[in-house]
Structure formats: structure tokens, C-alpha cells
Structure 1
Amino acid sequence: MSLQAPTATRGPDEVLLGFTHALRAAGVGVTHDRGASFLAAVALVGLGDVVAVRAAGRATLCAGPDDLDRFDQVFAAFFDPRGELPRSRPAPAGAPAPALLPESDAGAGGAADEDEEVVRAMASDVEVLRHRDVAALSPGEKARLADMFASLHVRAPVRRTSRHERWRRGDVDAARTVRASLRRMGEPAEIAWRRRSLRPRRVVLLVDVSGSMSGYADALLRLAHRLTHALPASRVETFTLGTRLTHLTRPLRLREADRALVAAGETVPDWSGGTRLGESLGAFLDRWGRRGAARGAVVVVFSDGWERGDPALLAEQVARLQRVAHRVVWVNPHRGKAGYEPVQQGVLAVLPHVDDFVAGHSLATYAELCEVIARA
């Protein structure tokens, strides 16, 4: 059947294009080519068969399994819940027919009210998702959460150097003030000021990828990727801890997050394995701490503290780390959950030697962690 409609009506092609815009807003990567393929497929199966239209959309508009859940949700919300596709309806005279959500029979006022309710519902869903435990999310929710990492506000921690820079207040810059006076033949000149210059501190991320942390590994590496690209170049170093130490900075420097995580997965040999935090931290300090990666840095350890090795060794290595680093932050995914108490031997061993012990199970806690790092 033909999808063309008279110019005075809102035709089926405009409704279907509006549906593709809604999909794109929901996070599905709908390109112009896919949209054209969708229109051609619907022209073949016909608008009267809702099941066929849905199947055509899933086949032409979805690029992977993660898009299917979002497609089904948008399809159900966009089209008539009674199972019938929207029909062409008169558009206001003299006004172009925009590709928007189909209007309801209640009139313009009812449509505006429904749009406001949809916006509130979407905002509410986003806020709820920010506070959900990432280990309990469905694949579709994890895909939505992955897009939300770009919203994290990241600032670099800074340190004062021995050098000075011009500033509008602070200490008097005697040399510049005298030179300015000499240029005026000894006449008084405006007082120059200076302050000690600031440089960003290095941030070191140590991510536990053992079996007990497997539900959080993907989100933590996405957070590491966000920090790597948001902070000044070469100021973030990332390692994984498990049965061995792995340096992950290079793969995480890939610009696209999904490609970076695939490269990281190919680099780490001990995903979901055992936990030897004490030995891994010792290897990090022996190979990287002495070379300066941790010296004066903000070191963030992501781990639940389940240690299979000797807790005394873990406590000794964290104490060494605290002496070398500017600040040690320990992020435990169970810290922010109701009823949690630090009873694990590994956690009890490290608590006396860490500066901050914070939660790390949701996007909201990752936002709080970014502030802790910035203020360090």
C-alpha cells in the first residue's frame, strides 16, 4: 500500500517517522538509512497488521540485542494501546504537519497534558535508574545506564607547585612591581600579585575484577573510561586487581566506550577469578608506586574486600600505599546498602589505612565519588 497522504492530513509516513525520532530519543541508534528501510518494510506488510509492523521495525531499526527491549517499550508507549496503529487525522489549516507523537481524541489540551505526564515519567525513570544497584539491572537498563555516564560531572584534583603565576590577589610580586615602577621612571606603579600555580593531580584507579565484583565490573570500567577522557591527558592510570595485576590505561584511552571495554576485556586474563588483593597491591607498589604512578596521587580502590589471602598482608600493603599516595579512597559497592556493616576481614584490615570509605553501587554514588576525587 502507498504511505503517501494528502498534505492536509498527518499521514502514516509522518507518524512512522515520528516513531523513529522517539526511538532515537530513547537511545536506539536509528540512522536515516534504517528509517527509510523501516518505511519500505511497512509499505510491504501494510499498516493494518500491527504485529507485522512491529516485526518490521525490530528487523530494520534495531542494531543489536540491547536495542530490542527499548524498541518494545517505545512501540507500546507510542502506538494506540488498543493495538491499532494511529490513523491519519486533519491537521490545523495553514500549519505544516510536524512529525510528532500522535494526537489523542481528547484534543490539544489533553495531548499537552499527556506529553507533560510522559516527560515527568521519563524524568522519574532516569532518577530511579541513577539510584538502582547496577548489579541488579536488566540488560536493557544497563544499556540505558551506559549512556548516562556522560552526564557525570568530573573535575580534576589539584596540587600547588613551587612555581608562581600572575593572579589578581595573593602575595605581592615584588619583582614585577619594581620593574613596572622603573618603566615609569620611578613613579609608583600598580602592585602586581602572584600565587603558587596549580597542577592536576594524577588519579590511579585499582578495580577489583574478581568473582564477587563481577556484577559491577562493567559499570566500574565505564566510570574509569569516563574519568580517563574527562580529566587532563595522562593524568589517569587504571589497573585491575584479581589473581594478578593488569595495566588497563591504554585500552581505556580509546574514544568510544564500547570499543574500550571490549579491548579491556581482551587484555584482562583473570575476569571473575579469585581475589588476592594483598599480593596484587604489593605488585602495584613494587612496579608502579616506586616509579611515581602512585606518589602524590589520589588512589581509588574499587573492591568489596573479600580477600582469599592473608588480611595482614593486605593491611600492610594498604598502609604502604597510604604513605606514598596523597589520598586513598576505598569504594565498596555494599557500603551504601541498608544494613551493611564492615565485617569482612579484608575491609576491617584496610579501614585504618584509608582516607575515605565510600559507596559505589549506583550512578548516584559514582557522582558522589567524583566529588570526593575533585576535593582530594
Structure 2
Amino acid sequence: MTTADRGGSSDAPAPRQHAGALLAAGVVESLSRDGDSGDADPGTDAVLEDFVAFTRLVRNAGVPVTTDRVAAYLQALRLSDLRSEVATYWAGRLTLCGDPDDVVRYDHAFAAWFSADPRDQRMGRPAPPKPRISTMAALTEPPPGSGTGDEDEETPELRVAASGEEILRDRDIAELSIGEREHLKQLLALLRPAPPKRRARRRRAARRGEPDPRRTLRAALANGGEITDLRRRARRKRPRRVVLLIDVSGSMSPYADTLLRFAHVVTRRTPTAVETFTLGTRLTRVTRELRQRDPERALADAGRAIPDWSGGTRLGEVLRAFLDRWGQRGVARRAVVVVFSDGWERGGADLLGEQSARLRRLAHRVVWVNPHAGKSGYEPVQGGIAAALPHVDRLLAGHSLTTLAELLEVLRDA
């Protein structure tokens, strides 16, 4: 098959055996007809139901497939040559994928559905993983006086390969399978965040610091009025407030569940010093839900409290609502504010820049976590992130467990 048959692009997967039941000649002709005739073809309904089931698999893979996209997908199938797997592939990719990150998940779903094994088509199994190459290293050196290598000698070997947990720590959260996400939940529960500290007004006894007149005089009175030791005091340390603002819009949906679990881990460490809000088309406070001990129950209650999950994004307006209702009244004052968002803004970027500057004047530190910042070749050129970046202290990548652990270190040192 030539490049022209693939639609002029080399991104399409290598041709695989198409689902034979879907591409029978008579059924294809019935699907390609106009819907003007009054007689309904049962073959057409069967094929349409099968393709609609494929869109459900794509949605389960993490692609935000809406009803409008499904309708556009079916219309594209009617105008395509279903005998060609490449045409079927591009009909779904151009209508069901709305973000560059959706392409990888769509490719996995397409490979699982249109495979040669019918069980894989129905169960939606992912493509088999590529074999990993293990590096072999000699454990011991041959003793002196041994053979020069012409003799076949058994040399002990050490198989060096990264463990599954180490590989999972650096994997992009959006590319994880269902089993890997379950393992990631266990790794998140093992995190031990250290909250940032601030100096309190109260003082405590210390070996170094300013002199403590009261304790010095009391010690002198107990010693007959003679000052033998100068007592000292220092400021107490208290946890500094941490505010987590998590974007739950459609473009952040592959990361939203993991970020909420991360927020639950941080909240459980210091429940009274952490506030969590979700950003989308509206502002939602989920601090009370995340203070529960059970993570599954906390996530379920938080999901029911969020009305705009996988919706649009109005960062400027929602950030202004947060500052007017919560931040200006003390939640953001001298706090470490962490914004989890990719920076996509449907509204005006100028409003987001103004509210980011306002937030910077209130907060102690502002950290922006963008999952795309950890990918090679990323440039913060989107309107939203470009407007907010001048008012941000740190820009981090929160796309993996390793980068989330790095964020905990930044919070500890704030």
C-alpha cells in the first residue's frame, strides 16, 4: 500500500487484518447507501452498533468521546471506504481525537478492536508490550591462567534491568493501563509528604536564639538571685497552608483522578493546613471530601461534588472567583498555591494574567504544574500558560510519579 493510500501521512499504523464480520461486501454496500430509502437494512444497524461499541472502548481508554464526536465518526464512516483499514483508522482519529495526547490512547484501542483474534476485539485487550532488552554484565572475572576464550566456559552473568516499579515511576500517567493505574494507587499511598513550615508568633525554649528574660530571671531566683546561665528562645514552626487548584477539564481528564489522589495524600498528612479546589467551568471546593481517611470513599465523594468533570476551561474567571471568595479572605495569604493545569484557556488570556498577578501578590509561593512540561520539545506558548508564567515561581511537570515526588520536595523547601 502506498503513502497516498494512507492519507499522505506516515503516522497511521501498519495494516493489520480487519474484522471480517464487519467488512462483508453486502454489509459495506448497505452502510454506504443514503438513508433516504424507507426500508431499514438490519445489516447496517448491526455494523453501526459495532462501531458505536468501538467508540465506547475509545472512551474507556481515556479519550473524551462526546455524542457529537460519535455522530461525526459515523458520518465519516459512511463517506469512507470500509474495505480499507487505513480509511477506517483515519475516520476515527480525525473525529474522535481532540488533543495530541488522545492519539496514543486511540491507537491502542484501535489495535485492540480491529485485531485478528475475535476475543481481543470484544474484550478490548491492549496491544502486547514490546520486549525489553536486558543488559548483561559479567559478575566475576576469569582467574589468571585460564583459557583465552576459545574454550566454552560458563561465566556467571548478572542480569541488569529496571524493575517494574522503577519503570512505572517515570511513565506518563495518561499512558498507563488499568493494571498499572492500580499499582500507581499503591505507590501514591506510600508517599510521605513533608509540609512547608513557617515561623509562628509563639516562642519556645531553644539553645540558640534571642535571650529569654522570663526564664532567665526564674532560673536566677531559684539559684538565690545569681544568674548562672542565659536562657534563650526561638520562634515555633507551624505548617504553612497549601492550596491545591486542580484543573478537571476535558484536556486534563487523563490526569485528574491521579492528581486528586495525590491531593488526598497531601491532605491526610496535614488536614487543617491543606485546601483543595477543582477548576473547570466553575470553582468547586473538595477539601471536606478529601479529609476522609479512606481514599476510595474520598475520591467517590469528590467526584459527586464536581459538576463540571471533563468539561470546558475558564481559568481566568474561575481563578477570579477563587480569589474573591476564598483567597482574598485569607486562604491564599502567605500560602503555597499549586495550580495543576495544562494552560488551555477558552476565555481571554489577559484576564488569567491579571488574576495570576493578583494571586502572586497574596501567596508566599506560586507553583504551576503542567503535565505537558515534562515532554521533550515542549514550549509554553499556549495563551493561558504564557500569560500566567511571568507570575509563577516554579513551572513543574506533574505527568509521572517521579515528578509528583519532586513537587513534594518543592513544597517542603518553600
Q: Look up the match of 1:309.
A: 347
1:147 aligns with 2:209: no
Unaligned ranges ≥5, structure 2: 1-122, 127-155
Aligned to 1:363: 401
TM-score by length of 1: 0.67
- 2:138 aligned with 1:138: no
- Report the alpha carbon displacement of residue 174 of structure 1 after superposing the two structures with TM: 2.4
Residue in structure 1 matching 2:271, options 233, 242, 253:
233
Deviation at 1:289, TM superposition (A): 1.1
- The root-mean-square deviation of aligned C-alpha atoms, in Å, is 2.1
Task: Note if 1:124 corresponds to 2:124.
Answer: no
From 325, 329, 337, give the equivalent of 1:287: 325
> How far off its partner does 1:290 sit?
2.2
Q: Secondary structure at the match of 2:233?
A: strand
* Partner secondary structure for residue 334 of structure 1: helix
- Matching of residues 150-299 of structure 1 within 5 Å: 150-230=189-269, 232-299=270-337
3-state secondary structure, aligned to 2:238? strand
Show structure 1 runs of 4+ deviating over 4 A. Answer: none
Return the alpha-carbon distance in structure 2 between the equivalents of residues 289 and 238 of structure 1.
Answer: 12
Per-residue displacement from partner, 1:115-152 (whole Å, max 9, x unpaired)?
x97xx86x711011001000000011000001100222
Tell me if structure 1 keeps the 8 A contact 2:271–2:291: no
- 1:27 aligned partner: none
Q: State the Cα distance separating 1:177 from its structure 2 match.
A: 1.1
Aligned residue for 1:89? Answer: none
Check if 1:373 corresponds to 2:407: no
* Alpha-carbon distance in 1 for matches of 2:205, 2:227: 19
Q: Distance in 2 between matches of 1:332 and 1:160?
A: 30
Counterpart CA distance in 1 for 2:375 and 2:407 is 16
> Displacement of 1:295 after TM fit?
1.1
- Where in structure 2 are the equivalents of 1:3-152 lying within 5 Å? 124-152=163-191
> Match for residue 321 of structure 1?
359
Q: Distance in 1 between matches of 2:226 and 2:277?
A: 59
In 2, Cα distance between the equivalents of 1:249 and 1:154? 17
Give the equivalent residue in structure 2 for 1:57: none
Q: Which runs of 5+ in 1 are unaligned?
A: 1-64, 70-112
Percent identity, aligned pairs only, is 61
Do structure 1's residue 344 and structure 2's residue 374 form an aligned pair? no
**Aligned partners of 1:138 and 1:213: how far apart in 2?**
17
* Secondary structure of 2:331's aligned partner: coil
Match of 1:8? none
Question: Is the CA contact 1:153–1:367 (under 8 Å) kept in the aligned structure 2?
Answer: no
Equivalent position SS for 1:186: coil
